[in-house]
Amino acid sequence: MTLDTPTPPDLRIEKRDMKFGREQAPPRWWHSGDPGRTAFFNALSSTFPVGEKFFMTSVRQYREGTPQPLRGQIDDFIYQESMHSREHVVFNRQAEDVGYDIAPLEERARRTIAWAKRRPPIQQLAATCALEHFTATLAHDALANPGHLGGASEEARRLWRWHAIEEIEHKAVAYDTYLHATRDMMPLRRWLKRCAVMGVTTLRFHYVIFRNTADLLRQDGRNDWATWRHLLAYLYGRHGLMRHLLKGVVGYMRPGFHPWQHDDRPLLAEALALLNAPASREQAA
């Protein structure tokens, strides 16, 4: 049995055991000295540990019976996501160390994941496909536009760059698993299901991230129009992360979509060179 997919046959999903931020906590406003950008990335990070466990579980449920190389890619995906979860637990604890209360944010993410877990397994997998598309889209934009991470503290920048690299490497694993799991489903029904789940996931994702961002800004006394205007311009402006995410959602709805129709391995090679470069070279970049 083989799976007909645009995923490159020579794709390597590397198992990297990397650790970040063990020596010194970043500044409270670690991204550009900006409370808004810091709050947004902290809000994202607060969802990762519980979210990535959900991703691993939803894909693992369909591992048996999948053909190679997909089965091996699922194992590599699970390894990478487990490392992401571990490192963002540390990152979130650092946010607590500088005075933020992260517990309400993590609880909001847990409630959302608990809601998703009450759905049938195939819908959980479809939700994972949608969220993995979000992370891959954000990852590509973060790596392609140096300004998105350029103002971050050195260790935080390395953490987010590493995470982005691996999100792109495994961006199609959940999707290919979904294609295999629904191989006997009518194509129209399969398309409608993934599009419907993407619509719901998009709404819930925005709700959780922006509620979490507002919670953090409130703790800084900066949950005001001036801060939000600056943050929304950064997120939805011409080169904004969330603007590109919404464009990615539209692309995902296209019949015949596949994550590897956009081959961004050259970008990965550049990002890996920066990740492995001495700190002075990375700062210059």
Could you identify the residue written with the tokens 């994702």?
205
Closest CA to 198 of 117, 128, 247: 128
pTM, to two decimals: 0.94
Distance (Å, rounded) from C-alpha 71 to C-alpha 68? 5
Report helix angle 35-60 to 187-219, nearest 10.
140
pLDDT given for residue 81 in this prediction: 98
Cis peptide before 69 (omega within 30 of 0): yes
Could you identify the residue written with the tokens 């470069």?
277
Q: Which amino acid, 258? A: H
- 179 and 7 in contact (C-beta within 8 Å)? no
Q: Which amino acid, 203? A: L
Give the residue extent of every domain in the chain: 35-284
DSSP conformation class of 204 = H
Could you identify the residue written with the tokens 């464009």?
247
pLDDT given for residue 158 in this prediction: 94
Which portions of the chain are predicted below pLDDT 50? 280-281, 284-285
From the number of C-beta atoms within 10 Å of its C-beta (0-12, 13-18, 19+), residue 3 rates as middle
pLDDT given for residue 2 in this prediction: 64
pLDDT given for residue 281 in this prediction: 47
